Amino acid sequence: MPTKIIGTYEDVATSLPLKSTDSLFIASDVKQLALDARSAGKAFNANTFIESFQAKLSKGTLLIPAYTDNLKNGDTFDQAKSKPTTGALSNKVGRRKDFQRSKDPLHSVYAWGKGAEEIAEMDGNSSLGEGSIFHWMHDNACKMMCIDVHFQNSLTYVHFVEEQRKVTYRKPYNWTIKRIFKDNSDEKSFVFYSRQPWVLTDLELLQNRAIETGVAQVFQLENAEILFFDIREMHQLIEKMLDNGEKLHRISLMHFVKGVAKKILRRN
């Protein structure tokens, strides 16, 4: 049974098992939080929500995804202007002055707190592997919270484990993207360890297993569901599933055919 959070969205941070020194990554769809707040006669204030976590993590680090996973090889990433594809909270945080955005063209994050400077300077050669934000999350025993988002749409960290394990259903692609920063620009060549064209990520079993085993704790605030977990414990679960031959993907020949058709149409 989920643990019920008493209060409003302003009480989430103090209701989770967080210490002031923790690092926390928040993946979210805040629509339900906003609807529940409106039903209670209050407006959802994203800044108030973020600041409640800053108060809780006074000696720690807060991470909000700012991925631009709509970019393709050869495109341009503007650190200040490229709009995140990770939802309303990400876009709201992007307008704040107290967060720093990391340099990764595909998987940047907004960072605040103790680790923000280090994260802002990170510039690894793999978007999902060594030197990436996911590597940092593992090394720093980061916690993660998913608000009304399935692992399918939020747990990009799984691909860090897959790259470490060199799974055969994904492979390294060499990408180059132009990057624009406040004071300079460059071209970044890096490895993007992505799926084979006939493969689709499928994390339904992983999410169910994480809840069943208690790796992911489930919290409920009104009609919103929150999954909370330690990233190292999740890492161990993912490795165990891979060792047991349990699938984190599925084969889709239809997806492959559609991809080929799109390439042919673009050439024509």
For the segment 209-224, the average pLDDT, to the nearest whole number, is 97
Under 8 Å between Cβ of 234 and 216: yes
Q: Specify if 229 maps to a domain.
A: yes
- Residue 126 DSSP one-character state: B
Quickly state the pLDDT bin for 263 (edges 50, 70, 90). Answer: low
Quickly state the pLDDT bin for 260 (edges 50, 70, 90). Answer: very low
Over the stretch 105-120, which tens digit does the pLDDT of each residue have? 999 999 999 999 999 9
Identify the domain containing residue 42 by its residue range: 3-196+203-247
* Residue 126 confidence (pLDDT) above 60: yes
* Residue 261 confidence (pLDDT) above 80: no
pLDDT cut 90: percent of the chain above it: 92
| CB atoms closer than 10 angstroms to residue 243 | 9
Per-residue model confidence (pLDDT) at position 253: 67
Over the stretch 37-85, which tens digit does the pLDDT of each residue have? 999 999 999 999 999 999 999 999 999 999 998 999 999 999 999 999 9
Over the stretch 141-176, which tens digit does the pLDDT of each residue have? 999 999 999 999 999 999 999 999 999 999 999 999
Q: Specify if 264 maps to a domain.
A: no
Residue ranges of the alpha helices (H) in 141-191?
A: 158-165
For the segment 204-212, the average pLDDT, to the nearest whole number, is 98
Which of 194-203, 212-221, 259-268 is predicted with the least confidence, judged by mean pLDDT?
259-268
Over the stretch 227-243, which tens digit does the pLDDT of each residue have? 999 999 999 999 999 99
Place of tokens 């993912």: 238
Under 8 Å between Cβ of 232 and 206: no
Helix axes 204-213, 231-243, angle to 10 degrees: 120
Q: Specify if 148 maps to a domain.
A: yes
Under 8 Å between Cβ of 229 and 147: no
Question: Which residues partner with 174 through β-bridges?
Answer: 191
Per-residue model confidence (pLDDT) at position 265: 55
Structural domains counted in the chain: 1
Q: Specify if 252 maps to a domain.
A: no
Q: Specify if 11 maps to a domain.
A: yes
For the segment 8-12, the average pLDDT, to the nearest whole number, is 96
C-alpha to C-alpha distance for 177 and 65, rounded to whole angstroms = 19
Q: Specify if 257 maps to a domain.
A: no
For the segment 116-140, the average pLDDT, to the nearest whole number, is 97
Quickly state the pLDDT bin for 224 (edges 50, 70, 90). Answer: very high
pLDDT cut 70: percent of the chain above it: 94
Q: Specify if 130 maps to a domain.
A: yes
Q: Specify if 259 maps to a domain.
A: no
Exposure string of 15-38, with b = 16+ CB inside 10 Å and e = fewer, is bbebeeebbbbbbbbbebbbebbe
Residue 11: which residues within 8 A CB-CB, separation 6 or more?
5, 52, 221
Under 8 Å between Cβ of 258 and 35: no
Category of 72 on φ-ψ map: left (φ > 0), alpha (ψ -120 to 50) or beta: beta
pLDDT, mean over the chain:
94
Q: What are phi and psi of 147, to 5 degrees?
A: -100, 110
